[in-house]
Amino acid sequence: MFQILLTHYPYYLSTVLIVIGVWGMLAKHNLMKKVIGMNIFQTAIILLFISSSVKFGATVPTVDTGLGSANAAFYVNPLPHVLMLTAIVVMVATNGVAFAILLLIYRRYRTLDEEEILRRMRE
């Protein structure tokens, strides 16, 4: 049990961050705090993917003239890095659209609290 925790510790820490992020999206009433919870969730997913690409004793995935490109155990797996590069920029774009929608809601209802907005919508 403790042995499994020692050899798998990055995955467990990323899972704790995922749970914190999704709980923030569900349980908080302020709309800005929900957006921050979404940010924490996306960052934890990126951390989980990058930590699954590590090999002990390997270097960055740039071909070094001294090491050559014959042995694949000298370089870290490059595929999760490629996928997460575009995920980071998509994160920024999603935040931009979320803030635009929050601005419009604030200009119309003058508050950012979820229950207060629902109450003012019914009037």
Partner 1 sequence: MKWLALSIMCLFGAFLFYVEVDMPEYGDPEAAANLHVSPYYIHESFQETGTPNIVTAILADYRAYDTLGETIVIFTAGLACLLLLGRSKRDDSKVQGPHR
Partner 2 sequence: MIAKYKDLIVSLACRLMAPFVFLFGLYVTMFGHYGPGGGFQGGTIMASGVILMRLSLGRQATIKKFPLEFGPIVGAIGLLIYAGTGLVSLLAGGEYLDYAYLPIPSTSGTERQYLGILFVEVGVALGVFGVLLSIFDSLTKE
Nearest to 112 by CA among 102, 122, 120, 121: 102
| Rounded-to-integer distance, Cα 100 and Cα 82, Å | 29
| Rounded-to-integer distance, Cα 75 and Cα 67, Å | 10
Size of the site for partner 1 (CB under 8 A): 49
**What is the token pair recorded at 92?**
């920024």
93 is a contact residue toward partner 2 (CB under 8 A): yes
Q: How far is the CB of 27 from partner 2 (least distance, A)?
A: 27
Binding mask 15-54 for partner 2 (x = CB under 8 A): ----------------------------------------
| Rounded-to-integer distance, Cα 35 and Cα 32, Å | 5
Residue ranges in contact with partner 1 by CB under 8 A: 4, 7-12, 15-16, 18-19, 22-23, 26-27, 51-56, 58, 61-64, 69-70, 72-73, 75, 77-82, 85-86, 89-90, 93-94, 96-97, 100-101, 103-104
